[in-house]
Structure 1
Amino acid sequence: MAALAATLTVSAALPATAQVNLRQRNQERRIDAGDRSGKLTRVESARLKAQQRSIERLEARQRARHGGRLTSADKRMIHDRQAQADRAITHQKHDSQRGRNHLKL
Structure 2
Amino acid sequence: MLEYNGELGAGGVNIVSVDGKHRGIGFFRRYELSPGTRSFTVALNIPGASTKTSTLTFVAVAARTYELKYQIQRTSATGGTWRVWIEDKQTGQPVVAEQG
TM-score (norm 2): 0.27
Which protein shows a greater Rg? Answer: 1
Which structure has greater helix proportion?
1
Which structure has greater strand proportion?
2
TM-score (norm 1): 0.26
Q: Which has the higher contact order (CA 8 A, sep 6+)?
A: 1
